[in-house]
Structure 1
Amino acid sequence: MHVLATLDEDSYDGAAMENGRKDHPISWAQVYQGGRVWYTGRGHTHESFDEDAFIDHVLGGILWAGGFEEGDATGTVWNSYTKSQITSDIYEGMKVDTTPDGRVFFTDRISGSEDGNTGQAPVRVYDPESDEVSTALSLDVYAGQEDGLQGITFHPDFEDNGWVFIYYSPAEVEGDQPYNLLSRFTVDGDTIDPDSEAEIIRVHTQRETCCHVGGDIAFGPDGEELYLSTGDDTNPFESSGYTPIDERDGRESFDAQRTSANTNDLRGSILRIVPEDDGGYSIPDGNLFTGDEYADARDNGEVREEIYLMGCRNPFTIEVDEETGLLYYADYGPDAGSWNAERGPPGIVEFNVVSEPGFQGWPYFTGPNIPYQDYDFETGESSGAFDPENPINDSPNNTGLEELPPAEEASIFYGYGGSMDNLYNEVPGYAQEYVPDDNPWPEIEGGGAPMAGPVFRSEDGFGDNALPQYYDGKWFIMEWNQGWVKCVSFDDDGNVMEIEPFLPTEDYIGPQDMTVGPDGELYVLEFGAGFSDPSDPGLYVIEQTGGGEEDPEPEPEPEPEPEPEPAPVSIPYGLDSGSENHGQTATIGGLEFDKLPNEGVTQTGSHTITSLLEADGEFSIEGTDNDLLYKTEHYGQGIGYDIEVPNGTYDVTLHFAELWWGVEGRGGTDTGEGSRLFDVSIQGETVLSDYDIYAEVGSLTATTETVEGIEVTDGVLSISSTTQADNTKFSGIEIHQTDGEDQAGLDPAQTIRMDGSTRGGWEVTSSQDIAGETSPTLTLREGEEYTVTWTNADGAPHDFVVQDSSGGEVAGTDYVSDEGVETTLTFTASEEMAQYICTVHPSAMVGDIEIV
């Protein structure tokens, strides 16, 4: 069935359809058993029949259904499309474009065989005639941070000149300051001649710290003007997920005011230039700073004329409509999970449609021009919100004008994460005038990774498998995190009229880029799952291969035999969350932890894998001798697991470690407590509320929470979560069956936590059965590994030592004299162990150990 029109429920009172704001079809058509069916739900009032548009609607439907008018009724009939994989031989796919003869070229940021931060990155080509993929060019690139090989596009006169334009990070640069480079090459058959390189423009960058490259390329409709997107080249990980405007000495790379808000810098912008035939470029009229009002600024070296748009964060994908010349792009936002009245809004990302040059707002404003607070990283105080009508860049790192053009609102915006609730809840007073009462686009439910695709333009010369004319003028957009593709329709004034799903029956794993082929088919480049060394990447073609006619009702068939139920996991069971992409196995207490996929484990919610094993820098996990388990994780909004187990009673241990917030070079050392909050439920009962890993143990430190006596009566142990801030994450899960019979000894999977003081002795603070007891007997299972984390509670010198019956030390920690300091000891319980003691205060701080 093909939907012709939907209803805007904000346009009338009394709407009651469930999820009607998101999708309320009001007219549709279909071809069924050779006949045509047309329906409309409009016309309930007499006044409707006085409207010419409604009469045309009814007349057109009657004429089409009667066969008197032609028209397509297959646009949203998803069984008329096929999505076919061309290749999965991709490492970190970036961009894709096609030549007029139908060949498909695509880029890899790196090849996976780097030596340090440099290596070769390939441009590959797929030839539909031979159905083969080959390497057209390999470039020596710098691949640190997010640099490497990025965008590719072909000159509009490619059939005559064979020119292709490529944006990349050269491994070797001239001079002291590194740069990314836009160059022109010549295509020769299925290869690109490396000796034909002609430099067009250099964009100077820094290579000391992460991130944001941009790197997409597009030509305007006149075939002369080339657009190039550049990122803000600013580290976002030490500003608590809010705007990075750190003006302290030595923190230049943490201040986006020096790039995106700098009229004299090419970064954080979309540039517009005219490449010259002999290399280099010229400046077209109509850029942001080419007008007479900026003549003095040009003479004073305070502006760059190449800038068309400034105030972008990471405009990773751009498109230019060949018919209208409008610029379409997607821009990423920061990672904050909630409002902070002294800093600004939660993370917001944008889709934008631009008809003229301007300032897009970053790093001062986001979305509908919601201002950030002018936060002083030195004092930790804010001096007020920025003004979108009169933005001022007074950063000491600014080399351009202080007074900037007024900021432009985003065309479409939505919240970082799995829902929009964080954006519209608890809005501080200063920002309420900028935040709509309701989500303007309920069709989008959050995500955080927008990707701009093409504006589809239907042509008479397209092939038989082209997308139908229904999509003419619609803008394809993608969401990398959430894995969807949608289409945006605009009214005559350029306002967003509708956002609708495209081919939702298919899976998209990290949709990265998209282009329309010369025959009207769609090519989609999917990055795959995971941020580095992704799994399941691919290049795909989407074609309309069927007529979209509904199949007649089939004859009843015998009911198939039910498929066998998934086999329960073996108990005891351990799951190493996020370990799918590496070959090592985590083992704790003799239990080997499983890797997914496992038919007995179903992931609920949208899980993303992250790992420290491939991260830049070396990281170790404190509080455990088995840090492999804690170096990988699943994270996401409201994620969980349904695990097939035999009916019975279980103890469930959840393993966590904070790998992002509070970590230098990642979430930043000025972040931490409150940055991540989530609830965990087991069998529908909440067992952890507002859980904050960082508040429990800090960053890069293992911690566990054990819930005992979980009853399973339906064969499924269900673990679910509700995310309050940022994302839920799990490092691992451990399941032991008890069936109501207490196993002797403390559970080795749960950390024993104590406060140590001369007055209070060893007071147990963990959730074991001995919680609240002072210097209790520790009953330990022989051969099991235990972890004791103790806190100096009085500032006196203490250590924690396990001794044998003769007073000899079996295991122990160093002395700690500072109040509040935590120290961890991990040991394997053995028969010789008799007591634990503080050797400085042996009479006040001592307890027995019993081995079972």
Structure 2
Amino acid sequence: MRRRRYVLALTATVIGSLMAGVPSAAGADDDGGDSGQQAQALKQARKKAPGTADPRVLVFHGPDAPGEVTEAGIAAITEIGSEAPAGEGFRTEVTDDPGTFTPDQLRSFNAVVFLSAGGDLLNAGQEAAFTEYIRSGGGFLGVHDAARAEPDSSWFTGLLGARPADGGPDGAQEAVVEVGDRVHPATSGLPLEWERDDVWFNWTDNPSGKVHTVARVRESTYEPGAGANGWDHPVSWCRDYDGGRSFYTGMGGTVAGFGEDDFRQHLHGALLWTTRLARADCQATISANYDAQRVTQPNQPGELDQIGEPHGMDIAEDGRVFSIGRAGGMPGSPVVTDWDDPRIGLGEGTVHIWDPETEQSHLAGTLDVFGDKGSGGELTKTEEGLLGIALAPDFADSGWIYLHWTPHSKIDRSAHTAERRVSRFTLDPDSDKLDPASEKVLLSWPVQIHSCCHAGGGMDWDSKGNLYIATGDTNSSGFSGGYSGNNPEPVFRGLSFADARRTSGNTNNLNGKILRIHPEPDGSYTVPEGNLFTGEEEGGGKTRAEIYVMGVRNPSRIAVDKETDKLYAGWVGPDAGQPSTTWGPAKYETFAVITSAGNQGWPYCMGNRQPYRDRNLPDPDQPLGWYDCDNLKNESPHNDGLVNIPPARDNNLWYSPQGGAPDFPRNDAGVPSYRLDEQQLLLPWLKGGVQAAMTGPVYRYDEDSQSDGKWPAYWDGKWFAGDHYDSDQPRHALLFDPASEASGGLPVHAESLDAIIPPGNDGIRNLMGWKFGPDGSLYVQDYGRGFFNADEKSALWRVTYEGGPPTPTGRDFLGGKR
């Protein structure tokens, strides 16, 4: 798969053809791909514009514009045009005369810049001429105070995208600009976090979703004053508007700013697009350009013919979506919870296949699993069952499917234990059915099933053919007050079920981990180099070589970006609603970018290494010392692994019921205060409440794909991370600084997906899995309404992009009526 930036600067020869003026709007069927048509248009354009070399840009400012700032802007734009490399320059003409706005005069310019041009400057005829100019394919760049231009014109408001609010900050302030668009020519070379002084506007109406935002200003880095817009505060954006191209930046309010190389680069890139010297996608984050459709029908009464209880999916190269159901039937289906009954917890793990060619789903196979045990209290429900799926990298040839599951045949009803396993099955190519007799068990290990919960389940491959397997800590959610799951009591028939030091914190236990193995053709596996342990530490018997990451709680989903082999994981936190000065942090839903083997901290430390309080026998109700995240010791009576375990690492995102990335002042020993009145929320866009982390994919744009619904290049390299719930919970595409992400760096940019992945009862309320298909569209599982069963809302959805190709298109470049 190859990628490219969707900015295609034209050759100097083609640039010369643009100088005859503004073309008529391109035809709807013109994608710029017909080389014969382009050659003919180029020939005609040369006849119309012999000897021309550079586009022309009109810089317009009001007669009462601030003198020094206006002069600095004029000088900057003039120098940008005259000093640009060959093929990227333009000629500048400056005026403060509204009389310039006539059809004949405007026709000779490729773009018009409004610089310090606030107020009602154009009469009705002049505005009509400018409107026709834009409708004929002209370009517009508004700088700073241009947002106040033509205040009574609704058309001009649409051209600009937003209007400044009254009040707001006084004077220039230093702030951080988040540069979220890494492919637009106006932002492609700028820092991810761009620190600069400027005069920052607040907006009466936030334009996000109606325009394509290329950069935001981070309000936490300055004083936004009255009318602040919050974490989503656009500062530069663009859109294809009424036949033309419009770019606006709220920056440009100071003399010094126009002398900055980065700001000049920003203006230059904007002008490359508005003058038609470069293509760019200014549709990518406009929410109306996305279409979300449910693609599976509700199950027939009493059946699981369309979809089971959704619990993950994988997508074949031919576009077929393989969706698994955990264990639960439809509402009202019989559930056995009596341990004396041999059918205790017997459920149906399902594998469904949805085919994009037929747009139909069928049941490809079932497994008898332990896991259908109801949604009652702590001791009468479970999260076991069919938990994860990964199609083999050579699935198209081998038909191999790897499943992570809990076979009902292996439960011990007396001990309340079960066997978890990863098995390889073969899909019969003739019947399109799973062949149960083809099972080869790669890996198996014991789990407790006496008390709910945390089975994990996600699986994915890296580019080297290594299989990653996410396992939950199989630990009770109770008996710790919702804080660290480190209570050595109680036990059931000798087995602890409330002490995650037995599992997640244990170097000799495969639960509460992310495993990494290399499946072999004969159904066995080998262990790749670079895992956390070799298995031979302290003479052997204290570690498991399959462990890549330890210290995770319940990672339902994981994703590996095969372009970088970075692992993206998230896991559900405990239940405490707020921090405790006695026991430690509240529930933290956690996400991490993982580039090497290590310990993510649970049940000792969470978030950015915020420690819990130890507890132990003889009285676990009494707090002991705080854990030292740098020097962790597993002193649980249920530990059969190493005592000295790897230090906890920082995670990249965490959020509590109070909000995103809570942080506290720390004492000399590094222990946070855990006082709510001292809490600082480092990521204000992350919300709390009812919450359950749900990792998504990293999108990779495929320029060779001919799919009409593929998501645009803007999203390339962004990680999709969200929450199971849709009520005030996060669903975002995240951008990280590569220099800090592996060490727990916070995301530098977050793009809300709320308007693209529709929430609500008739939308995708309960996100359970999401993955991009080979067609570049996003497939999403909605779990349904309720728990431990499927229902009429359980479904597979597809979200496609309908915004069209980047602009300008071929006819805008090379021909059309002038």
TM-score, with normalisation over the residues of structure 1? 0.61
Shift of 1:342: 2.1
Residue in 2 that maps onto 1:388: 629
Structure 1 residues 36, 382: closer, same or farther in 2, change over 3 A? Answer: same
Whole-angstrom distance in 2 between the partners of 1:237 and 1:119: 25
Q: CA deviation at 1:197?
A: 1.3
Residue 268 of structure 1 contacts residue 312 of structure 1 at CA under 8 Å; is this kept in 2? yes
CA distance in 2, matches of 1:47, 1:151: 56
Structure 1 residues 604-632: Cα deviation after superposition (integer angstroms, max 9, x where no partner): xxxxxxxxxxxxxxxxxxxxxxxxxxxxx
Give the CA deviation at 1:19: 5.0
Alignment of 1:500 with 2:731, yes or no, is no
Cross-structure match for 1:469: 713
Q: Quick one: structure 1 residues 390 and 424, their matched pair in 2 at CA, closer, same or farther if it must change by over 3 Å?
A: closer
Of 451, 460, 463, 1:218 maps to: 460
In structure 2, C-alpha distance between the alignment counterparts of 1:157 and 1:317, rounded to whole Å = 22
Deviation string, structure 1 residues 782-840 (Cα, Å, up to 9, x no partner): xxxxxxxxxxxxxxxxxxxxxxxxxxxxxxxxxxxxxxxxxxxxxxxxxxxxxxxxxxx
Q: Could you tell me whether the CA contact under 8 Å between 1:523 and 1:539 is conserved in 2?
A: yes
- Of the three residues 535, 541, 554, the one matched with 1:301 is 541
SS, match of residue 440 in structure 1: strand
- Residue 773 of structure 2 is aligned to residue 517 of structure 1: yes
Partner of 2:70: none
Which residue is 2:614 aligned to?
A: 374
- SS of 2:366's equivalent in the other structure is strand
1:15 alignment counterpart: 224
Query: Contact between 1:289 and 1:307, CA under 8 Å: does it hold in 2?
Result: yes
Instruction: Measure, in 2, the Cα distance between the counterparts of 1:81 and 1:235.
Output: 41
CA deviation digits over 1:327-355, x for unaligned, max 9?
00111100111222222221111111011
Compared CA separation, residues 126 and 296, structure 1 to 2 (3 A): closer
Alignment of 1:755-794 (within 5 A): none
State how far apart, in whole Å, the 1-side matches of 2:444 and 2:472 are. 14
1:96 has 2:335 as partner: no
Structure 2 CA distance for partners of 1:509 and 1:317, relative to 1, 3 Å: same
Q: 2 CA distance for matches of 1:280 and 1:204?
A: 19
Aligned counterpart, 1:440: 682
Instruction: Give the corresponding residue for 1:813.
Output: none
Among 419, 431, 434, the residue aligned to 1:179: 419
Structure 1 residue 424: deviation in Å? 6.3
C-alpha distance in 1 between matches for 2:649 and 2:488: 25
Q: Is the 2:696–2:771 contact (alpha carbons within 8 Å) kept by the matching residues of 1?
A: yes
Distance 2:293 2:785 in 1: 18
Q: Describe the superposition over 1:138-161 as per-residue Cα deviations: whole angstroms up to 9, x where unpaired.
A: 111111411111111111222222
The equivalent residue for 2:26 is: none
CA contact (8 A) 1:79 1:548 kept: no
**TM-score (normalizing by structure 2):** 0.63
User: Quick check: 1:281 aligned with 2:521?
Assistant: no
Alpha-carbon distance, 1:240 to partner: 1.2
Q: Does the CA-based 8 Å contact 1:109-1:121 persist in structure 2?
A: yes
Partner of 2:293: 84
Verify the 8 A CA contact 2:551 2:599 in the aligned structure 1.
Answer: yes
Aligned to 1:582: none
Deviation at 1:549, TM superposition (A): 11
Q: Give 2:448's aligned residue.
A: 206
Q: How many Å separate the matches in 1 of 2:356 and 2:661?
A: 46
Looking at secondary structure, tell me which structure has more helix per residue: 2
2:257 alignment partner, SS class:
helix
Q: How does 1:293-372 map to 2 (within 5 A)?
A: 295-297=536-538, 299-372=539-612
Match of 2:737 among 477, 491, 498: 491
Correspondence for 2:59: none
Instruction: Give the direction of change, closer, same or farther, for the CA distance of 1:282–1:426 in structure 2 (3 Å limit).
Output: closer
8 Å CA contact retained: 2:667, 2:673 = no
Per-residue deviation, residues 84-114 of structure 1 (Å, max 9, x unmatched): 0011334421001110001111011124146
TM-aligned CA distance change 1:352 to 1:17, over 3 Å: farther
5+ long unaligned stretches in structure 2: 1-210, 300-306, 337-344, 374-381, 808-818
Provide closer, same or farther for how the CA distance between residues 76 and 256 of structure 1 changes in structure 2, counting only shifts above 3 A: same
Distance (Å, rounded) in 2 between the aligned partners of 1:174 and 1:276:
28
Map of 1:167 onto structure 2? 404
Question: Is the contact between residue 720 and residue 732 of structure 2 (CA under 8 Å) also seen in structure 1?
Answer: yes
Asked whether the 8 Å contact 2:696–2:721 carries over to 1, the reply is yes
Give distance in 2, aligned partners of 1:141 and 1:261: 27
CA deviations on 1:472-492 (whole Å, 9 max, x unpaired) are 000111211235521101124
Displacement of 1:502: 1.5
Asked if structure 2 preserves the Cα contact closer than 8 Å seen for 1:77 and 1:548, the reply is no
Alignment of 1:312-711 (within 5 A): 312-376=552-616, 378-379=618-619, 380-415=621-656, 417=657, 419-420=658-659, 431-432=671-672, 438-447=680-689, 448-462=691-705, 463-483=707-727, 484-493=730-739, 494=741, 495=745, 496-504=747-755, 506-507=758-759, 508-533=764-789, 535=791, 536-547=793-804
Over the matched positions of the two proteins, sequence identity in percent amounts to: 36
Partners of 2:536 and 2:789 in 1: how far apart?
48
SS of match in other structure, 1:384: coil
Moved more, 58-67 or 398-407: 58-67
1:547, distance to aligned residue in structure 2 (A): 3.5
Residue 131 (structure 1) shift: 1.4
Q: 2:348 aligns with which of 114, 117, 120?
A: 120
**One-letter amino acid of the counterpart of residue 84, structure 1:** Q
Moved more, 355-364 or 241-250: 241-250
How do 1:780-819 and structure 2 match up within 5 A? none
Q: Specify the alignment match of 1:626 in structure 2.
A: none
Where 1:381 maps in the other structure, the secondary structure is: coil
> For 2:384, which of 115, 123, 147 is the aligned residue?
147
Alpha carbons of 1:434 and 1:226: their partners in 2 closer, same or farther (altered >3 Å)? farther
> How big is each residue's C-alpha offset from its partner over 1:275-325, in whole Å with a ceiling of 9 and x where there is no partner?
1111121110000013xxx7443x331000000000111111100011111
Which of 467, 476, 489 aligns to 1:235? It is 476
Q: Secondary structure at the match of 1:133?
A: strand
Q: Which residue of 2 aligns with 1:244?
A: 485
The one-letter code matched in structure 2 to 1:99 is A
Name the amino acid aligned to 1:250.
V
- Checking the alignment, whether the CA contact within 8 Å between 1:312 and 1:331 is kept in structure 2 is yes
2:664 touches 2:672 (CA, 8 Å); kept in 1? no
User: Relative to 1, partners in 2 of residues 1:163 and 1:421: Cα closer, same or farther, differing over 3 Å?
Assistant: closer
**Is 2:295 aligned against 1:49?**
no
Q: CA deviation at 1:533?
A: 3.4
Cα gap change, 1:411/1:108 in structure 2, threshold over 3 Å: closer, same or farther? Answer: same
Alpha-carbon shift at residue 48 of structure 1 (Å): 3.0
Q: Is the contact between residue 665 and residue 672 of structure 2 (CA under 8 Å) also seen in structure 1?
A: no
CA displacement, residues 631-658 of structure 1 (integer Å, 9 cap, x when unaligned): xxxxxxxxxxxxxxxxxxxxxxxxxxxx
Q: Look up the match of 1:6.
A: 216
TM-superposed CA distance for 1:4, in Å, is: 0.8
Counterparts of 2:719 and 2:660 in 1: how far apart (Å)? 26
Where 2:497 maps in the other structure, the secondary structure is helix
Decide whether the 8 Å contact of 1:337 with 1:422 is kept in 2.
Answer: no
Residue of structure 1 equivalent to 2:24? none
1:270 and 1:61, CA in 2 relative to 1: closer, same or farther beyond 3 A? same
SS in 2 for 1:179: strand
Q: 1:238 and 1:437 mapped to 2: Cα distance?
A: 26
AA aligned to 2:312 is: K
Inter-partner Cα distance in structure 2 for 1:174 and 1:451: 28
In 1, are the aligned partners of 2:452 and 2:476 still within 8 Å (CA)? yes
Deviations 1:50-91 (A, max 9, x none): 433322221111111122211111111111110000113344
Q: How much does 1:545 deviate? A: 2.2
Aligned-residue Cα RMSD (Å) equals: 2.5
Contact kept, 8 Å, 2:701 with 2:712, in 1: the verdict is: yes
Give the structure, 1 or 2, with the largest relative contact order (CA under 8 Å, sep 6 or more).
Answer: 2
CA distance in 2, matches of 1:548, 1:160: 34
Distance apart, 1:239 and its partner CA: 1.6
Contact 1:212 1:313 in 2 (8 A): yes
